[in-house]
Structure 1
Amino acid sequence: MDLGYDLEEALRRRSNNISRKSIEALRNAIAKSNLVPKSITDKQLALFIDASDGQIDVAKKTIETYYDARHNAPEHFLDRDPLSETIEQCLNNQHYFILPPKDGCPIIFHQLANSKPSNYYFDNAIKTFFMSIDICLHKYGPQRGIIFLFDMRHVRIGHLTRVRVGTIRKFFRYVQEGMPAKLCEIHVLNVVSFFDKILSLIRPFMRAEIFKMLHTYSSNYNMDDFYKNVISNRSLPKEFGGDLASAEELHDQFRKEFIALREYFLGEVEQRKEFSGESGVKPVEESEIVNTFRKLDID
């Protein structure tokens, strides 16, 4: 089980952050960790070093959080077979794909394919989104960072009843503390009128620097400004005035990448079976979290 990118090319391209010497230094730093599989590869280590700007102590903390977060969220990081009913249900009702990089940052796109709340299973959607991130890292390797691009055109107020606060907490813990890539930007298109209610759910779990990355655009936003200042139309689906194929076509192509990497996803789960799970960190119980969703006034 290993990532698909070219390590030697990445070492040349990201030489300010990663080197053979830094990879060996990180391997030595985690040698006695009961959190990290002994079979972890050089390509995996390189991702963490690059995301930590070459700082080995930071990379060690990130990699341990990565495995601890995966261990404590089995609903998101186990049963990752792309051919399973769970993943297929998500791929049938949501769109996931990667758009061309902007300034060295690949863009991960996500939207609902239809507006039926009954077709939306929040934990499974998070699992599939995390798999999309893994595909991006598998393909592109170390990069300056990644960008999230969400479209809310099919989101309805009923979707909020499908959301679990504990899942939001786990999502942001992984993205902010354990993901082996920097998050550079978050953009939300066709933002809904009740976005304030969504924000009240997610804001408590967002670091200040991540919150500052969040940019929203209404359905009547001038897309010419978006093309000029945010993401070029050359890198967007045609529904958004872009030059690429439709979102459905891009999703269908990306779905093939999910299936092509089936052995990788199964192997990654097997690799983590080496993990003892004895992090020494007390997990946050659901009862300890203020369930702000119950306070929302949903009409």
Structure 2
Amino acid sequence: MSANIRVLSPELQLIAKQELHEESSQIPQMLEQFREWIKKSTHLNSRLDDQVIVPISKSQPDGPVIEIIRPGSYDAEKFHIEEILRAFMLINDLMLIENDNLAVVGSLSIIDLKNVTLGHLLQMQPSIIKKMTMLSQEGSPIRQKGIHYVNTPPGFEKVFNIFVSFMNEKMKKRVFVHGNDMESLFKSGIPKDILPKEYGGECESIDYIVQHWEQKIKDNYERLVEDVKLYKVDERKRIGKTKNPESLFGIDGTFRKLEID
């Protein structure tokens, strides 16, 4: 039986074979095995259609998806970082379905800290940082190929050191701090031409990209709401040791609050 999924480009098929040890001819069998495992895992309530199980993406022909994250663009008095993270995860969910490069090659993040205030930094408590790091390293199917910090403000070091303390050794080697030196960012291997105009690139403006994703979320609103309501984990039905916030992250109260002078 053939799988009802999009065919990867030749460049991505080669990466899938070399780095993920996956052959396109094996996909139908792997999908069926995965589907049967989900059915037997009584604590999981998941979509079973082929394209969700084998997501896809686009960027450079054989490169990771570039994500620009701008924490300073939201009002820290009106919104909390946890709300911003939910929106970020919605966008990643949509990209995983549509973007082969994200699923096969992974993502590369540019974290632009321009306009980040003390209010933003104070929201980054150790318990939240630990959850973010664990989600990225152990709970997400996306391979993180690198994190690049630019326009770093005073006080950044304290938050950064907490982030690094929760990272595994592989991830620590993929983190780079460029300060205000954009040329250093370009020399790190990120193609300048695929970046937005505001970063010296040749692609659409930040405003255009924001409007594009706002519209995409609106267009997929019903599906996203359905995913949140219907597809989740019921730890009461898990066979074996239960996984909950306390066992995974520890009790929030065990962390002291982050203080920045």
Decide: shared fold, TM above 0.5.
Answer: yes
TM-score (norm 2): 0.79
Picking from 197, 207, 211, the partner of 1:238 is: 197
Q: Return the offset for 1:160.
A: 2.0
C-alpha distance in structure 2 between counterparts of 1:102 and 1:123, whole Å: 33
C-alpha distance in structure 2 between counterparts of 1:166 and 1:125, whole Å: 16
Picking from 139, 150, 163, the partner of 1:202 is: 163
C-alpha distance in structure 2 between counterparts of 1:270 and 1:290, whole Å: 31
C-alpha distance in structure 1 between counterparts of 2:40 and 2:74, whole Å: 49
C-alpha distance in structure 1 between counterparts of 2:91 and 2:174, whole Å: 20
Q: Return the offset for 1:20.
A: 0.9
CA change 1:114–1:36 in 2 (3 A) is closer
Q: Which has the bigger relative contact order, CA under 8 A and spacing at least 6?
A: 1
Contact 1:153/1:190 (CA < 8 Å) preserved in 2?
A: yes
For 1:250-261, what aligned pairs fall within 5 Å after superposition?
250-261=209-220
Matched, 1:41 2:49: yes
Task: Determine the structure 2 residue equivalent to 1:27.
Answer: 35
TM-score (norm 1): 0.70
Matched, 1:186 2:150: no
Q: Return the offset for 1:204.
A: 3.1
Task: Determine the structure 2 residue equivalent to 1:7.
Answer: 5
CA change 1:120–1:216 in 2 (3 A) is farther
For 1:126-145, what aligned pairs fall within 5 Å after superposition?
126-141=85-100, 142-145=103-106
Contact 1:115/1:156 (CA < 8 Å) preserved in 2?
A: no
Task: Determine the structure 2 residue equivalent to 1:276.
Answer: 234
Aligned to 1:104, the other structure's residue is in SS state coil
C-alpha distance in structure 2 between counterparts of 1:198 and 1:256, whole Å: 33
Aligned to 1:117, the other structure's residue is in SS state coil
Picking from 156, 170, 173, the partner of 1:212 is: 173
Q: Return the offset for 1:249.
A: 2.4
CA change 1:99–1:23 in 2 (3 A) is closer
Aligned length: 240
Q: Return the offset for 1:125.
A: 0.8
Q: Return the offset for 1:11.
A: 9.0
> Which shifted more, 191-200 or 34-43?
34-43
Q: Return the offset for 1:130.
A: 0.9
Code of the residue aligned with 2:5 in structure 1: it is L
- Structure 2 unaligned residues grouped into runs of 5+: none
Aligned to 1:8, the other structure's residue is in SS state coil
- Structure 1 unaligned residues grouped into runs of 5+: 1-5, 51-97
Q: Return the offset for 1:39.
A: 4.0
Task: Determine the structure 1 residue equivalent to 2:69.
Answer: 110
Contact 2:38/2:44 (CA < 8 Å) preserved in 1?
A: yes
C-alpha distance in structure 2 between counterparts of 1:254 and 1:248, whole Å: 10
C-alpha distance in structure 1 between counterparts of 2:63 and 2:179, whole Å: 26
